[in-house]
């Protein structure tokens, strides 16, 4: 069904408000509420009251207290446990499902962010429902509008699933006021299940390590800094630095990368560089298939060593 969306009428919305119970997933980083994740709250409000926020991680209570001031949230459920830091979906999905079942929520909403895109399909699978992605408009409690074919067509989706697991496009549901609310706080259930996963892989490990190692190397070379999408999504580097299919195309004299796997989408943005040099601890990493010069080793050792040598020259 392809058609242009129309906003729901006031009677439709007030009828919905009597039936629904929505859960909005809130994101945070290092104990601070991520305001862009409040798109889930704005969308939940369009469905009707009551709106419950959900937050988990080592500073969950402090974030919950901050989120309680957001206008339009009635209650915040929080779970304080470091296993849910960085929103690892393998850990977060079973936690969320337990709390959804306990609260009997009809609609679960998260931002269409890297976190939401990772988490919500797993939550939907565990609840045996189909996820509805990247909505830009709510027509009614079961009908949603979302762009498809890179925004060239608009799809209206009607879902009979229950509960409905939805990701929302941030720009379509701007965050409301972060002051003036007075939500109650409630501790959620913690199944303490699925905690085998730890965050790994991302070569530079953290923004602090990225900032400690990469600018001195770039300075020593007289180079600009770029980053992979994984590094950008993990918050190590600014979006504007992303190289690749969905980032910038670069073709410098020397492209020196450390802790880059060499995914095809990354190569799309840098493969025309004159000389490609790579440092990776995995000798089988795909980046070595395109590199002119390769060094198999730990970047935390090799990058400072290289920086030091370059400075001396
Ligand atoms: P990882 O995949 O986590 O790789 C880390 C690498 O670091 C590994 O090879 C590991 O061996 C190595 N490593 C780990 N620790 C160390 C250490 N101590 N010392 C040395 N080496 C170490 N990606 C982009 O970059 N740009 C894009 O524009 C882009 N667009 C995309 C578009 C789409 C539609 C999709 C689906 C994906 C896109 N991606 C893009 C993502 C891409 O598929 C990869 O997930 C991403 O490039 C991986 O980034 P990475 O190599 O930094 O991280």
What are the residues facing 78 on neighbouring strands?
A: 55, 187
Contact 128, 101 (CB under 8 A): no
Measured from the CA of 201, which atom of ligand 1 is nearest?
Answer: 3
Half-sphere exposure of 215 (CA within 13 A, CB side): 8
For range 10-23, the mean pLDDT: 67
Mutate to test the pocket of ligand 1, among 217, 235, 255, 261 (most ligand atoms within 8 A of CB): 261
What are the residues facing 144 on neighbouring strands?
A: 138, 157
Whether residue 9 has pLDDT greater than 90: no
Whether residue 73 has pLDDT greater than 80: yes
State if pTM tops 0.80.
no
Q: In which order are the strands placed within the sheet that holds 275-280?
A: 254-258, 275-280, 293-296
For residue 1, what pLDDT is reported?
Answer: 47
Region of poorest pLDDT, from 10-24, 142-156, 251-265: 10-24
Q: How far is the CA of 205 from the centre of ligand 1 (A)?
A: 12
Which of 236 and 16 is assigned the larger pLDDT?
A: 236
Reported confidence tier of residue 114, pLDDT bands at 50, 70, 90: confident
For range 192-205, the mean pLDDT: 74
Q: How far is the CA of 238 from the centre of ligand 1 (A)?
A: 15
Contact 183, 70 (CB under 8 A): yes
Reported confidence tier of residue 313, pLDDT bands at 50, 70, 90: confident
- Maximum distance among all alpha carbons in the chain? 74
Q: How far is the CA of 230 from the centre of ligand 1 (A)?
A: 5
Whether residue 26 has pLDDT greater than 70: yes
**Within the chain, how many helices (H) and strands (E) appear?**
10, 15
What are the residues facing 283 on neighbouring strands?
A: none
Contact 167, 120 (CB under 8 A): yes
Identify whether 41 is preceded by a cis peptide bond (ω within 30 of 0). no
Reported confidence tier of residue 49, pLDDT bands at 50, 70, 90: confident
Measured from the CA of 231, which atom of ligand 1 is nearest?
Answer: 52
CB atoms within 10 A of CB 195: 16
For residue 11, what pLDDT is reported?
Answer: 58
| Cα gap 87→44, rounded to integer Å | 21
For range 280-288, the mean pLDDT: 96
CA nearest ligand 1 atom 48, residue: 230
Average per-residue pLDDT in the chain? 91
């Amino acid at each position: 069904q392809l058609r242009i969306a129309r906003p729901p009428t006031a009677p439709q919305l007030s009828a919905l408000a009597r039936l629904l119970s929505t859960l909005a997933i809130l994101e945070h980083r290092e104990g601070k509420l991520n305001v862009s994740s409040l798109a889930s709250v704005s969308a939940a409000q369009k469905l009707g009251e009551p709106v419950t926020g959900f937050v988990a991680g080592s500073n969950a209570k402090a974030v919950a207290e901050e989120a309680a001031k957001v206008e339009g949230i009635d209650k915040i459920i929080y779970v304080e446990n470091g296993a849910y830091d960085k929103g690892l979906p393998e850990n977060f999905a079973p936690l969320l499902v337990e709390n959804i079942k306990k609260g009997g929520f009809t609609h679960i909403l998260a931002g269409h962010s890297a976190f939401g895109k990772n988490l919500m399909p797993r939550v939907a699978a565990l609840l045996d429902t189909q996820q509805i992605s990247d909505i830009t408009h709510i027509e009614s409690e079961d009908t949603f509008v979302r762009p498809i074919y890179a925004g060239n067509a608009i799809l209206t989706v009607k879902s009979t699933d229950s509960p409905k697991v939805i990701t929302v496009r941030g720009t379509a549901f701007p965050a409301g006021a972060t002051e003036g609310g007075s939500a109650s706080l409630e501790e959620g259930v913690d199944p303490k299940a699925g905690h085998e996963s730890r965050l790994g892989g991302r070569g530079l490990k953290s923004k602090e390590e990225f900032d400690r190692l990469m600018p001195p190397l770039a300075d020593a070379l007289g180079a600009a800094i770029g980053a992979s999408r994984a590094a950008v999504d993990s918050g190590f580097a600014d979006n504007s630095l992303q190289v690749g299919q969905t980032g910038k195309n670069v073709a410098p004299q020397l492209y020196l990368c450390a802790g880059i796997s060499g995914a095809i989408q990354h190569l799309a943005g840098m493969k025309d560089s004159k000389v490609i040099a790579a440092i990776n601890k995995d000798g089988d990493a795909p980046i070595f298939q395109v590199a002119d010069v390769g060094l198999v080793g730990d970047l935390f050792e090799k990058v400072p060593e290289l920086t030091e040598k370059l400075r001396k020259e």
